[in-house]
Amino acid sequence: MDFFVFTCAALMSLVGALGVVLRRNPVHAALSLVLTLFGVAVLFVLLQAEFLAAVQVIVYAGAIVVLFLFVIMLLGVDRIENLRTEPIALQRWVAGLVGLALSGLLVATALVAGDETVVRGSGIASAVAGDDPDANVRQIAGEIFGDYVVAFELTSVLLVVAVVGTVVMARRKQAAK
């Protein structure tokens, strides 16, 4: 089962990485980057580093949202698309089938995995933490909100200023037209 999950996550990461490099549309490239980041998060879960997987999804998904804002506001999405025509004829059916397959895989994994393997693993995170499963979280929280709290808050302020600056720049370009 681990080999199957590893293979799927590795394929997700590789296909997403190729999409980032080969796509011409920046929005599609960013979506491929999201696929890559989720593949890496699944690999973290496979290594039983759940905290790193959660940070991977939360932090980078947030960064992708900011990337979407930059792409949409700076490059301008002028093209109006007709929503009645679909560029790929069977995309809704394929998406439905993939969704059903992933849901079935999730249910099968939940049925096969016992509660003991979910609660108490033998991976990297439990080997580092020892008897205390929350030791890693406490240590990382102590570092972020203790020693590096100023840098952490300055980074968040910098991101907010960047988004506000982008909005102002985009509005000036629209007013000039």
DSSP letter for 149, please.
H
pTM for the full predicted model:
0.51
Hey, where are the domains in the chain? 1-77, 126-177
Asked: is 1-77 a CATH 1.20.120.1200 domain? The reply is yes
Q: What distance in Å separates the CA atoms of residue 122 and residue 128, rounded to the nearest whole number?
A: 10
The 10 Å CB-count burial string (b at 16+, else e) for 89-106 is: eeeeeeeeeeeeeeeeee
Indicate whether 118 pLDDT > 50.
Answer: no
Instruction: Give residue-wise pLDDT tens across range 7-59.
Output: 999 999 999 999 988 987 777 777 788 888 889 999 999 988 888 888 888 88
Sign of CA dihedral 127, 130, 134, 139: negative
What is the pLDDT, as a whole number, of residue 134? 73
